[in-house]
Amino acid sequence: MPTKYPGDADEVRALNAYICLLRATESLLARSSQNFRGSKLTASQFAMLECLLFQGPMKPSELAGKMLKSGGNITMVIDNLEKRKLVQRTPHASDRRAIIISLTAAGNKLIESLMPPQVACIKDQMAVLTAGELETLRELTRRLGTAQ
């Protein structure tokens, strides 16, 4: 659905690309999140468990940076995962003011069970692109994500 904004050619082109990028992202997220809905996880909760699985324990502020979320949002996600005993807060070894978030055994077991079908789903969705197109997409979205 292209924009109806009555701007100049550069504005319309930028808006149309932006709309397409957002629609594709929302579509991919909606389809891929079906894989973990049965475990009653939100997309943010799944992302946090995945981050902790592959990046290891870290401070909430580090999680917020990796997940591109606000501190308040991260606290809520941690609280909800902690209630389910999927993550735990422990005091930082050298900084008494800081805490470290890590997976519990149950959290590790859950995310490890969810990753293979999630990866397969994403691979299937991305199969409409060639390997070269996927690499180009990665590079373009990285440039967009780091542009200032």
Question: Which residue ranges make up each domain of the chain?
Answer: 39-146
Block means of pLDDT (10 residues each) for the chain, length 148 residues? 86 94 93 88 94 96 90 92 97 89 98 96 96 96 87
pLDDT (0 to 100) of residue 120:
95
CA–CA separation, 60 and 76 (whole Å): 11
Q: Do residues 87 and 104 lie in contact, with contact meaning Cβ atoms separated by under 8 Å?
A: yes
pLDDT (0 to 100) of residue 121:
93
The domain 39-146 is placed in CATH, from the list 1.10.10.10, 1.10.357.10, 1.10.3720.10, 3.10.310.30, at: 1.10.10.10
Tokens linked to 141: 């979205």
Number of H helices, E strands in the chain: 6, 2
Q: What is the pTM of this model?
A: 0.86
pLDDT (0 to 100) of residue 91:
92
